[in-house]
Amino acid sequence: MARAARDPEERIRERNIRLIIKAGIEIFARKGFDGTRIAEIAEASGLPKANVYYYFSSKEEIYTTIIAHLLASWDNALKYISPEREPAEAFRLYIKAKLDYTRKNMAESRLFASEIIQGARFLTKKDREHIRQVTDRHVAVIEGWIAAGKMLPVDPRHLFIMLWASTQFYSDFEPVAIDALKTSRLKAGDYDKAAATIAETILRGILPCS
Residues that bind its own copies in the complex, under the rule CB under 8 A: 29-36, 110, 113-114, 116-120, 123, 128, 131-132, 135-136, 152, 154-155, 157-162, 164-166, 168-170, 172-173, 175-177, 179-182, 193-194, 197-198, 200-206, 209-210
Q: Which is nearer to DNA, 26 or 172 (CB)?
A: 26
Neighbouring C-beta atoms of residue 162, cutoff 10 Å:
16
> Is residue 187 within the footprint of DNA (CB under 7 A)?
no
Q: Which is nearer to DNA, 60 or 143 (CB)?
A: 60
Would you say 122 and 33 are in contact if contact means Cβ atoms under 8 Å apart?
yes
Give kind and range of the element (H or E) at residue 7.
helix 3-35
Compute the distance between CA of residue 111 and CA of residue 191 in angstroms, rounded to an integer. 20
The listed partner (its own copies, DNA, none) that binds 77, CB under 5 to 8 Å by sort, is none
Compute the distance between CA of residue 20 and CA of residue 8 in angstroms, rounded to an integer. 18
3-state secondary structure of 128: helix
Span from 8-16, 77-85, 125-133, 198-206 in contact with DNA (CB under 7 A): 8-16
The listed partner (its own copies, DNA, none) that binds 164, CB under 5 to 8 Å by sort, is its own copies
Would you say 53 and 11 are in contact if contact means Cβ atoms under 8 Å apart?
no
The listed partner (its own copies, DNA, none) that binds 38, CB under 5 to 8 Å by sort, is DNA
